Amino acid sequence: MNPKLTLRDQKKEATAYALSVAAFELALVHGMDGFIVDDVVRQAGVSRRTFANYFSCKEEAVAEYFMNRATSEDENDLLAHLAPDATPLDALYSLLKLQFTSEFLRRLRQFASLANQYPSLEPYILSVFRRLQMAAQEVLERFTHGRYTDGYTHLLAGAVYGAFVPILDGRLNVLLPGESQEDRPGSVSFDQYLNSMFDYLRNGF
């Protein structure tokens, strides 16, 4: 619950969230074609019509579950606590740590696996990444006070999130803390991937 919102908006958020949770769970258990919107609303305890007020399809509801709930206060905090000599890359790195928690990555893997099974989901998982990228763009813009006008922030934010896309189709197999390499052959730890990414960014390709 975000206390910055009015009670009304808190309830709206809660409703959307309940619907998205129900949709994601049903998708995991039954597959995208194993449930209908009526099932979602039954599980979330709202009317069929209300679902349509929030989402235009099941896929959108599932994706909503992944739309970042990092508040703008979190971002304010982040910017305030950076070292005085921090670079834009440092700011970006901090944000990535905030966004890609182990828990988020764990669920994202489930979502990605669903999306590979049900192509109708693919466009919607991309929109999750887009949302994250826009937040990064915003943070970079604030951090640099609009100092760069040549697309630097666009490019930097784009680079990082673009590089995550291979997670989606399993070409990049992320190993989470607590998992062993034997369980997931060919996997790379997220931190390791992130670090090699930032090496390239710092030093050029």
Residues that bind DNA (CB under 7 A): 6-9, 11-12, 15, 33, 36-38, 45-50, 52-53, 56-58
Cβ-Cβ contacts under 8 Å for 10 (sequence gap 6 or more): 1, 2, 3
CB of 101 to a second copy, least distance (A): 20
CB of 16 to DNA, least distance (A): 8
Task: By CB under 8 A, tell whether 137 contacts a second copy.
Answer: yes
- The DSSP annotation for 59-113 comes to HHHHHHTTS----HHHHHHHHHTS-TT--HHHHHHHHHHHH--HHHHHHHHHHHH
Number of residues that bind a second copy (CB under 8 A): 41
Question: Is 47 or 117 the residue whose CB approaches DNA more closely?
Answer: 47
Residues 160-189 within binding reach of a second copy (CB under 8 A): 160-166, 171-172, 188
Task: By CB under 8 A, tell whether 155 contacts a second copy.
Answer: yes
Structure tokens at 136: 């990064």
- Binding track over 101-130 against a second copy, x by CB under 8 A: -------------------x-xxx-xx--x
CA distance 152 to 146: 10
From 156, 174, 187, 190, residue interacting with a second copy (rule: CB under 8 A): 156
Helix (H, G, I), strand (E, B) or coil at 172: coil
Task: Count CA within 13 A, CB hemisphere, residue 18.
Answer: 16
